[in-house]
């Protein structure tokens, strides 16, 4: 033990700590494998009660091809709504596990949804579009409705369509809607400023950074 100086031990300790930090940083970093372009709507009853959200999600061509692989159809490469009936069912069932990636707040209170209704798939231009309506567990009259759509793990990248990203179905004309899409340039800048440690920490919920916010305000 005589040759082992305290300084050397301290150096070793530093190396060990560094190595441990590198190795033990959460390796849960994802990047999207599925892209969804959304056209959603808030469903409002004639009396002004918010009943749910109606979604139309269009998937990218690679995922659409994967999802339709092996599904029989009369014309190869073209699928009818009926051909895709089972797949639509599977889709909405699996989405439940992920809370449909939809986070709603009505008058500031977190709202939850029941099982989706009217789910069907459309195949057009080698892209699948999943239509489904998410009914609110407890329909309420609300003045502020805030919606966010994102995948916390960022496996799925959600973005709103350029045209009519969000509509108000049956809402009083006085209600206003504003859609906030994540600004790519600002987001990239923000991410690039993040340190490795911050990033690792944030990664468990990185999808939130890419969140798409909808704000509906009714008088």
Partner 1 sequence: MPVISRRRWQAPLALCLGVLAVLVVSAGLADALAQSPFGVRTPAPPPASAETGLVGWVLAQQAQFYRSLSGLIRAAKADGTAMWTLFGVSFVYGILHAAGPGHGKAVISSYLIANEETWRRGIVLSFASALLQALVAIAVVAVAAVALNATAATMTEAVRWIETASYALIVVIGVRLVLTKGRGFLRAVREQRAEAGADGGALVLAPALSGVPAGTGFLHAEPHRDGLARSHVHGSAIHAEPAAAEPHDHAHHDHAHHGHDHHHGSACACGHAHHNDHDHAHDHHHHDHDGCCSHGPAPAELAGPGGWSRGLAAIVAVGLRPCSGAILVLVFALSQGLFWAGVGSTLLMGLGTALTVSGIATLAVGAKGVASRLAGAKDGRGALMVRGLEVAAACAVVLFGLALLGGYMASERMI
CB 101 within 8 A of CB 149: yes
Could you give the maximum distance between any two Cα atoms of the chain, in Å? 87
CB 30 within 8 A of CB 156: no
By CB under 8 A, is residue 153 in contact with partner 1? yes
Judged by CB under 8 A, the stretch of 38-46, 49-57, 175-183, 195-203 that binds partner 1 is 195-203
By CB under 8 A, is residue 63 in contact with partner 1? yes
Minimum distance from CB of 42 to partner 1 (Å)?
26
By CB under 8 A, is residue 4 in contact with partner 1? yes
Among 42, 60, 168, 182, binds partner 1 (CB under 8 A): 60
Pair type for strands 144-149 and 102-106: antiparallel
Residue (34 or 179) nearer to partner 1, CB: 34
Minimum distance from CB of 125 to partner 1 (Å)?
13
Residue 179: other Cβ atoms inside 10 A:
17
The rounded distance, in Å, linking the Cα atoms of 149 and 102 is 5
For residue 179, what are the β-bridge partners? 214
Among 39, 45, 75, 77, binds partner 1 (CB under 8 A): 77
Minimum distance from CB of 178 to partner 1 (Å)?
18
CB 208 within 8 A of CB 152: yes
What's the gap between Cα 172 and its chain centre? Answer: 28
Q: Which positions lie near partner 1, rule CB under 8 A?
A: 1, 3-4, 8-9, 11-13, 15-16, 18-20, 22-24, 26-35, 60-63, 65-71, 77, 90, 153, 155, 157, 188, 190-202, 209
């Amino acid at each position: 033990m005589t040759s082992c100086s305290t300084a050397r031990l301290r150096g070793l300790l530093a190396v060990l700590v560094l190595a441990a930090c590198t190795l033990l940083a959460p390796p849960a970093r994802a990047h999207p494998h599925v892209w969804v372009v959304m056209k959603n709507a808030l469903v409002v009853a004639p009396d002004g009660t918010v009943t749910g959200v109606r979604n139309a999600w269009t998937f990218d061509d690679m995922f659409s091809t994967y999802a339709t692989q092996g599904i029989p159809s009369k014309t190869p490469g073209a699928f009818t709504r009926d051909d895709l009936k089972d797949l639509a069912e599977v889709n909405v069932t699996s989405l439940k596990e992920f809370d449909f990636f939809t986070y709603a707040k009505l008058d500031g209170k977190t709202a939850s949804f029941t099982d989706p209704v009217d789910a069907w798939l459309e195949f057009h231009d080698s892209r699948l579009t999943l239509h489904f309506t998410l009914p609110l567990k407890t329909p309420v009259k609300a003045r502020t409705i805030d919606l966010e759509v994102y995948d916390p793990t960022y496996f799925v990248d959600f973005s709103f369509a350029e045209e009519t990203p969000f509509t108000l179905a049956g809402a009083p004309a006085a209600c206003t809607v504003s859609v906030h899409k994540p600004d790519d340039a600002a987001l990239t800048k923000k991410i690039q400023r993040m340190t490795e440690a911050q990033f690792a920490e944030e990664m468990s919920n990185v999808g939130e950074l890419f969140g798409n916010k909808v704000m509906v305000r009714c008088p």
